[in-house]
Amino acid sequence: MKTLILIFFLIFIIGCSNKNVSITKISSDSKQFDTLSYSNFWTAMRCGIPEMAPKFTNDKEKLEFADALSDIIKGNFASAESKYYDLINKSQNDTIIYYSRMILEQTLIYQSKWEKYFEEFKNKDISDSLEKIRLLFPAFIGNNEHLSYERNIDTIPFKLKKDLIFVILRINDKEVEFLFDTGTQFTTLSDELADELGLIPLSINKSAMQSSTNSYSDISTSIIKKLNFGNITYENKPCFITSSSNFKFKFLFYTFLSMDGVLGWDMIKNLDITIDYKARKLYVRKPVLNQNTNRNMFWLNQPIVKLKSSAGIDLLFNFDSGAQESAFYDFLLVKIKPTDLKDDSESIYGFGGSVKKDIQIIPEISFRLGEHQLNFKEIKSSFEIDGHFIKLDGVLGNDIGLKSGKLHLDAKNGIFEILE
């Protein structure tokens, strides 16, 4: 199993804009059934459709696996955790054990269950990548992390730089400017800022961070005594530290973007957020669970949004506010076979540097998101980081919000929507 300890999915291209996407209102959310024929049980599961399990199998353990995956999609991590533990301990099916462990790992990380994580994955014989995690996460065991909401609602101004969102937060009473990045799992600081704040590295591992450009960097763990972001306050907040060079983006010898750190999904998941791109404001609320919510977003390694193609095919895109542009992955071409693909190449910038990649371009394509249709012209391919159970079809970037004006993101209730 190839397991990624920390993923930075910041992708941007110099001089890009949102001119190639338009958004139109449609009469209602499409209730059209998926028209794609899935070949087997595991394909359906990795496409995030556990309800299709009975179509392919009567095997009790496979149905239990699908039921646990359904819990993940519904945000019931504790229930999924229990079911995957049960499958790992009783199953004789190597594939079920393999995928159950892959998903269990993420459920424990999401719930900050570091001791359980260590106990489950401490065996050095599991894999080299899991050994890297074993060396990092024990530093968080016994940490008394505390989260509180000072107000039920707050308004936070932000800046747009290169079409990316930058916010102010306070770390140990010092104001710092961080990238707001839903595609990064953990809040992460540069080593220069960590030194300034007096943060003590607790553990370190070589090449444990994988970036969107498929480069690897050293990373260490630490604890932030106090962190404030709008109406939310963390005490004893686990964080990661990496080289300041990873936060400086250059073209030739010119640094065109730099930052002190990244505010990641570990914080964003605890808030109900409306991103107002026109007003440059975040409207941040304490989340309230609504049992009757029509969920269209779930988390597994990253926030995953459900879309439909114009033909009714179910699609999964991750929402990454650390990406300027939306893009598609190769897996989309398995489901949708455009006849007019174009070849090109492009330099992509991310943490750890830049890489020149051969890409493909779909001249025109549309996807449905709730009551809105996303119309793309010249949408480009990107590359998906390996090692995830769910196979994604693409990424939604900030171009969607810049064109629509407002996006609403509520992790607790599984909501991702465009607001008028």
Residue that wins the pLDDT comparison between 198 and 346:
198
Question: What is the greatest pairwise CA distance in the chain?
Answer: 60
Residue 290 belongs to a domain = no
Q: Of 85, 109, 140, which marks where a domain is finished? A: 140
- Do residues 185 and 387 touch, judged by C-beta distance below 8 A? no
pLDDT above 60 for 4: no
Chain centre to alpha carbon of residue 285: 20
Q: Shortest CA distance to 285 belongs to which of 276, 294, 274, 296?
A: 274
pLDDT band at 132 (very low <50, low <70, confident <90, very high): low
Q: Which of 149, 117, 146 shows the shortest CA–CA distance to 132?
A: 117
Spatial CB neighbours of 37, under 8 Å, sequence gap ≥ 6: none
CA dist., res. 178 & res. 259, Å (int): 6
Q: Are strands 261-263 and 174-180 parallel, antiparallel or unpaired?
A: parallel
Which whole-number Å values give the CA distances from 380 to 122, 213, 330, 332, 341, in the listed order?
40, 16, 11, 12, 10
Number of Cβ within 10 Å of residue 54's Cβ equals: 12
Would you say residue 204 lies in a domain?
Answer: yes
Does the residue 281 lie in any domain?
A: no
Q: Does 127 share its domain with 181? A: no
Looking at per-residue pLDDT, the higher value among 203 and 287 belongs to 287
Q: Look at residue 243 and tell me if it is in a domain.
A: yes
Strand partners, 148: 233
129 in the same domain as 154? no
Tokens (6 digits) for 36: 């794609």
Domain termination site, one of 90, 111, 140: 140
Same domain, 155 and 250: yes
What pLDDT, on a 0 to 100 scale, did the predictor assign at position 31? 62
Domain boundary among 140, 161, 181: 140
Q: Within this chain, do residues 131 and 164 fall inside the same structural domain, yes or no?
A: no
Q: Tell me what pLDDT residue 218 has.
A: 80
What total number of domains does the chain contain? Answer: 3
* Model confidence pLDDT, tens digit, residues 78-110: 999 999 999 999 999 999 999 999 999 999 999
Residue 351 has pLDDT above 70, yes or no: no
What's the pLDDT band for 252 if we cut at 50, 70, 90? Answer: low
Q: What span, in angstroms and rounded, lies between the C-alpha atoms of 10 and 180?
A: 10
Q: CA–CA separation, 158 vs 29, rounded Å?
A: 31
Q: Check residue 200 and report its DSSP letter.
A: P
- Please report, for residues 266, 314, 329, 365, 379, the alpha-carbon distance to residue 336 in angstroms, rounded to integers and kept in the order given: 33, 11, 11, 10, 14
Read off the CATH number of the domain in which 355 is found: 2.40.70.10
**Residue 247 sits in the same domain as residue 198:** yes
What is the Cα–Cα distance from 321 to 156, expressed in whole angstroms?
16
Answer for the pair 169, 263: CB distance below 8 angstroms, yes or no. Answer: yes
Q: Is residue 385 part of a domain?
A: yes
Same domain, 122 and 62: yes
The upper half-sphere exposure of residue 163, i.e. CA atoms within 13 Å in the direction of its Cβ, equals: 23
Kindly provide the b/e burial profile for residues 246-285, where b requires at least 16 CB atoms within 10 angstroms of the residue's own CB: bbebeeeeeeebebbbbbbbbbbbbbbbbbbbeeeebbbb
Instruction: Enter the tokens of residue 384.
Output: 């998906």
What pLDDT digit, counting tens, does each position of 280-312 carry?
999 999 999 998 778 999 999 999 999 999 999
Q: Are residues 48 and 126 in the same domain?
A: yes
Q: pTM value?
A: 0.90
Instruction: Say what the pLDDT of residue 119 is.
Output: 85
Question: At 331, is the secondary structure helix, strand, or coil?
Answer: coil
Question: To the nearest whole percent, how much of the chain has pLDDT over 70?
Answer: 86
- State the distance between the two ends of the chain, measured CA to CA, in whole angstroms: 43
- Which of 131-135, 220-224, 239-243, 365-369 has the lowest average pLDDT? 131-135
Output the pLDDT for position 14. Answer: 42
Range of the domain at 316: 11-32+296-403
Structure tokens at 151: 């107000």
**Are the C-beta atoms of 246 and 262 separated by less than 8 Å?**
no
